[in-house]
Amino acid sequence: MILHVLAGMILTSAGASTGSASLSPQAVLAVEHRQELYVALGDARQIGVYDVASDRIVRTIKVPGEPTSLALSGGGRWLYTTCGQVDGRVCVIDTTTGRTVRDIPVGYGPVAATLDARRSILYVCNRFDNDVWAIDPIDGACLGKAPVVREPIAAALTPDGNWLYVGNHLPAGAIGAAAVACEVSMIDTATMRVAASVLLPNGSTGLRGMTASPDGKYVYVSHILARYTVPTTQLDRGWMNTNALSIIDVQAQKVLDTVLLDDVDRGAANPWGVACSNDGKTLFVTHAGTDELSVIDVDGMLAKIKDHPSKQRTGQQAASGNSSYGGASVAAVANQLSFLKGVRQRVRLEGKGPRALAVMGAKVYVAECFTGTMTVVDTAPKTIATMAVALGTQPPLKGPRRGEMLFNDASLCFQQWQSCASCHPDGRVDALNWDLLNDGIGNPKNTKNMLLAHQTPPAMITGVRPHAEYAVRSGFRHILFAECKEADAVAIDAYLSGLQAAPSPHLVEGKLSAAARRGKALFRSAGCAACHAGDLLTDMQKYDVGTADGVDKGKEFDTPSLVELWRTAPYLYDGRAATIREVLTRYNPNDLHGVTSDLSADEIADLEAYVLSQ
Ligand code: HEC
Ligand code: HEC
């Protein structure tokens, strides 16, 4: 891919060299006093040291796994990077020698390393263990663990170090609850307990980034705001997915408001990284789906929120002294496209897949995951300038990797409202229901995992699509409202059919636990294996297992694979079950879905343990 350069040059001679691995930058950290940036190069398993003066990677440091986040000690000597998956760890790197001096084991899928340099505590989110650890970065001791809601993926520490805000990537619970939305967990760092939590507005999903304002008053959170309760008959004006920023008032411990990053006729899909300028006056949000950076004037945005008609106190509220923020009034701003008009600039970036970013002075450094590039955004001039820099030699973007890029690319969608990844983040699920029109209207279906979709035809829970290839092409037509080039669809097929199952966090050292082993026997005796057969746990046939309801009554459903069920709650075609236990008890009253009524509570727990271990 040839990058368009406005100033400066593209560097290919220097930089990281990785053989066949793509650079796929995942995190950027600015070190102001050294005029350097550290860049976590995911697939390449390296940390690149980026010299700001010469705009190039001058040194690379090898790490043992794919680095996912970075933190630096106060003095700048020690660099901490989370890496690995089931074998998650924090590598402590001596920045003077580039050597890894300590390897601290942590949980599954560690991300969002956040250092409290004053108290010398490192916080790490273990995405697939659903918890957050506090670690002593010197001796590696675990000082405390806080269980959170679901896939903690982003964190922000208040400047006083008293609160760690943790963003949960996906909503938890069954569909049908009053609000289905991801939560922000507030951990009191003195006790390492979740002391409070903030539920984002109904439909919030795909939370990716967060940062605290330098004065500690606000925490900014990027996420998708899905309009999942209406049929997908249209796409324009944010009918399906909108793209949002929530502002949490730290003192009040609630959402001050949620603003949309979209314009009326142009979505700003897949908001990802969030960062503030040092003075807190400018906020930056990367849009991974549209390859843009939002540059937001914070005072202007806060003034607009304050002056919004929905925020004017009613006589009654004024009399009772209630704040006009929060509660029902949140919806009013969150429904307004172009709310940021006049206080936000959309800057086109140079590469594909901007996710991580860092701010140094007037410049913003945005790393682009699919092209292995950095766009340097200079906000000082009146017209913001951009410059593309290659972070090293990047293998050509082809095959499954190109498919992954396209799956995440909202420029393929009419008016850029969403990418396939808006509902299928990481090729998985958004934990919501959607009323797609392929099987009628008024019968929403829970989003399906892309894992094994190509290996287990037919597609869709009702089997209305003969195979996943068909579903991919009709997804473009009917969900993105766009035509897709056959070569692009083929690349997406290659990406999706190559997805590998992530090992279940319920396994113990890679093996079934004792409970899961007992559950395995029950899986056969209760008749589950008749339909959930073979390695993929499906016979690919359709049955009525007594779950069909409403418009779908009398329909048969395509037996789903049970692989990776641990990460795809809620369950059943309409997401009515929050847990596997509910599938097997509350929603199987007549033993039409395996024979479970004669099982004891312990046996149900064993069966559940087995299913969740797949
Ligand atoms: C608005 C949300 C949304 C978007 C955007 C979306 N999907 Fe889906 N997708 C769903 C839902 C919901 C289902 C399950 C529907 C059902 O079971 O009837 C699904 C199912 C599928 C399936 C079938 C999986 C199986 O095992 O049966 C495939 C394949 C698929 N989507 C691919 C894509 C592709 C490719 C794109 C982008 C072109 C895309 N989806 C965009 C919501 C979405
Ligand atoms: C007659 C075939 C059949 C048998 C027997 C059967 N299943 Fe299923 N299973 C299905 C079908 C069809 C669905 C989809 C139902 C729906 O979505 O409402 C399903 C759905 C599920 C789900 C939800 C999956 C998801 O992604 O939402 C779980 C969990 C499950 N089955 C576990 C079991 C267990 C455990 C047993 C044994 C007690 C069992 N099944 C027996 C056919 C069967």
Q: What is the pLDDT of residue 325?
A: 37
Kindly tell me if the per-residue pLDDT of 316 is higher than 90. no
pLDDT category of residue 321 using cuts at 50, 70 and 90:
very low
Q: Which of 297, 312, 214, 215 is nearest to 259 (CA)?
A: 297
337-348 confidence digits (pLDDT tens): 999 999 999 999
Q: Are 485 and 409 in contact (CB under 8 A)?
A: no
Task: Please work out whether the CB of residue 462 comes within 6 Å of at least one atom of ligand 1.
Answer: yes
**Atom 8 of ligand 1, nearest CA residue:** 475
Q: Ligand nearest 547 Cα, by number?
A: 2
Task: Please work out whether the CB of residue 247 comes within 6 Å of at least one atom of ligand 1.
Answer: no
Residue 413 Cα: closest atom of ligand 1: 38
Q: What is the pLDDT of residue 311?
A: 75
Is the preceding omega at residue 201 within 30 degrees of 0, hence cis?
Answer: no
Last residue of a domain, one of 497, 525, 542: 497
402-419 confidence digits (pLDDT tens): 999 999 999 999 999 999
Better-scored residue on pLDDT, 356 or 311: 356
Kindly tell me if the per-residue pLDDT of 7 is higher than 70. no
Q: Based on the fold, state whether residues 279 and 317 are members of the same structural domain.
A: yes
Model pTM score: 0.94
Q: Based on the fold, state whether residues 297 and 230 are members of the same structural domain.
A: yes
On whether residue 232 sits in a domain, the answer given is: yes
On whether residue 506 sits in a domain, the answer given is: no
Please tell me the distance from the alpha carbon of residue 38 to that of residue 208, in angstroms, as a whole number.
20
pLDDT category of residue 2 using cuts at 50, 70 and 90:
very low
Q: What is the pLDDT of residue 399?
A: 94
Q: Based on the fold, state whether residues 539 and 481 are members of the same structural domain.
A: no
Kindly tell me if the per-residue pLDDT of 240 is higher than 70. yes
User: What is the average per-residue pLDDT within 486-500?
Assistant: 97
Q: Based on the fold, state whether residues 519 and 586 are members of the same structural domain.
A: yes
Backbone angles phi, psi at 408, to 5 degrees: -100, 5
> In a mutational test of the pocket of ligand 2, which residue from 428, 545, 557, 571 has the highest number of ligand atoms less than 8 Å from its CB?
545
Q: Range with the lowest mean pLDDT among 9-23, 290-304, 313-327, 506-520?
A: 313-327
| Mean pLDDT, the chain, integer | 92
Q: What is the pLDDT of residue 117?
A: 93
Structure tokens at 272: 């990802």
Please tell me the distance from the alpha carbon of residue 576 to that of residue 459, in angstroms, as a whole number.
20
Last residue of a domain, one of 443, 467, 497: 497
Task: Please work out whether the CB of residue 461 comes within 6 Å of at least one atom of ligand 1.
Answer: yes
Kindly tell me if the per-residue pLDDT of 503 is higher than 60. yes
294-310 confidence digits (pLDDT tens): 999 999 999 999 988 87
Q: Ligand nearest 448 Cα, by number?
A: 1
Residue 558 Cα: closest atom of ligand 2: 12
Q: What is the pLDDT of residue 11?
A: 37
Q: Range with the lowest mean pLDDT among 94-103, 349-358, 529-538?
A: 94-103
pLDDT category of residue 312 using cuts at 50, 70 and 90:
low
On whether residue 3 sits in a domain, the answer given is: no
Find the largest Cα–Cα distance for the chain.
Answer: 73
Structure tokens at 446: 């829970």
454-485 confidence digits (pLDDT tens): 999 999 999 999 999 999 999 999 999 999 99
Q: Which of 175, 150, 203 is nearest to 578 (CA)?
A: 175
Better-scored residue on pLDDT, 456 or 332: 456
Q: Ligand nearest 445 Cα, by number?
A: 1
Task: Please work out whether the CB of residue 580 comes within 6 Å of at least one atom of ligand 2.
Answer: yes
Q: Based on the fold, state whether residues 529 and 574 are members of the same structural domain.
A: yes
507-540 b/e with 16+ CB inside 10 Å = b?
beeeebbebbebbbebbeebebeebbeeebbbbb
Kindly tell me if the per-residue pLDDT of 16 is higher than 50. yes
Q: What is the pLDDT of residue 347?
A: 97
Q: Based on the fold, state whether residues 419 and 480 are members of the same structural domain.
A: yes
Q: Based on the fold, state whether residues 408 and 387 are members of the same structural domain.
A: no
Q: What is the pLDDT of residue 589?
A: 95
Task: Please work out whether the CB of residue 413 comes within 6 Å of at least one atom of ligand 1.
Answer: no
CA 246 to chain centre: 15
Q: Based on the fold, state whether residues 290 and 430 are members of the same structural domain.
A: no
Q: Based on the fold, state whether residues 391 and 405 are members of the same structural domain.
A: no
Residue 475 Cα: closest atom of ligand 1: 38
Last residue of a domain, one of 369, 395, 421: 395
Q: What is the pLDDT of residue 313?
A: 55
Q: Based on the fold, state whether residues 355 and 459 are members of the same structural domain.
A: no
180-207 confidence digits (pLDDT tens): 999 999 999 999 999 999 999 999 999 9
Q: What is the pLDDT of residue 74?
A: 81
Measure 460 CA to ligand 2 centroid, in angstroms: 15
Kindly tell me if the per-residue pLDDT of 497 is higher than 50. yes
Q: What is the pLDDT of residue 177?
A: 73
Please tell me the distance from the alpha carbon of residue 278 to that of residue 212, in angstroms, as a whole number.
11
**Atom 37 of ligand 1, nearest CA residue:** 420
**224: domain CATH number?**
2.130.10.10
User: What is the average per-residue pLDDT within 27-34?
Assistant: 96
On whether residue 61 sits in a domain, the answer given is: no
**Atom 41 of ligand 2, nearest CA residue:** 528
User: What is the average per-residue pLDDT within 519-533?
Assistant: 98
Q: Are 411 and 290 in contact (CB under 8 A)?
A: yes
Element (H, E) at 116: strand 110-116
pLDDT category of residue 37 using cuts at 50, 70 and 90:
very high
Write the DSSP assignment of 327-383 as a string of letters.
GGGHHHHHT-TTTTTTTEEEEE-SSS-EEEEEEETTEEEEEETTTTEEEEEE-SSSS
Q: What is the pLDDT of residue 335?
A: 86
**Atom 29 of ligand 2, nearest CA residue:** 580
Task: Please work out whether the CB of residue 459 comes within 6 Å of at least one atom of ligand 1.
Answer: yes
On whether residue 89 sits in a domain, the answer given is: no
Task: Name the residue with tokens 């990053």.
Answer: 261
Q: What angle do CA 155, 157, 163 make, to 5 degrees?
A: 110
Q: What angle do CA 99, 102, 103 make, to 5 degrees?
A: 115
Percent of the chain with pLDDT over 70: 94
Structure tokens at 554: 């009398």
Q: Based on the fold, state whether residues 379 and 405 are members of the same structural domain.
A: no
Q: What is the pLDDT of residue 5?
A: 35
Residue 425 belongs to domain spanning: 401-497
Measure 539 CA to ligand 2 centroid, in angstroms: 11
Q: Based on the fold, state whether residues 465 and 603 are members of the same structural domain.
A: no
| Total tally of structural domains belonging to the chain | 3
Q: Which of 69, 70, 75, 161 is nearest to 119 (CA)?
A: 161
Residue 449 Cα: closest atom of ligand 2: 26
DSSP 8-state symbol, 540: -
**430: domain CATH number?**
1.10.760.10
On whether residue 242 sits in a domain, the answer given is: yes
41-86 confidence digits (pLDDT tens): 999 999 999 999 999 999 999 999 999 999 999 889 999 999 999 9
Q: What is the pLDDT of residue 320?
A: 38
Percent of the chain with pLDDT over 90: 87
Q: What is the pLDDT of residue 310?
A: 78
DSSP 8-state symbol, 340: T
Kindly tell me if the per-residue pLDDT of 244 is higher than 80. yes
pLDDT category of residue 6 using cuts at 50, 70 and 90:
very low
On whether residue 347 sits in a domain, the answer given is: yes
Q: What is the pLDDT of residue 438?
A: 86
On whether residue 67 sits in a domain, the answer given is: no
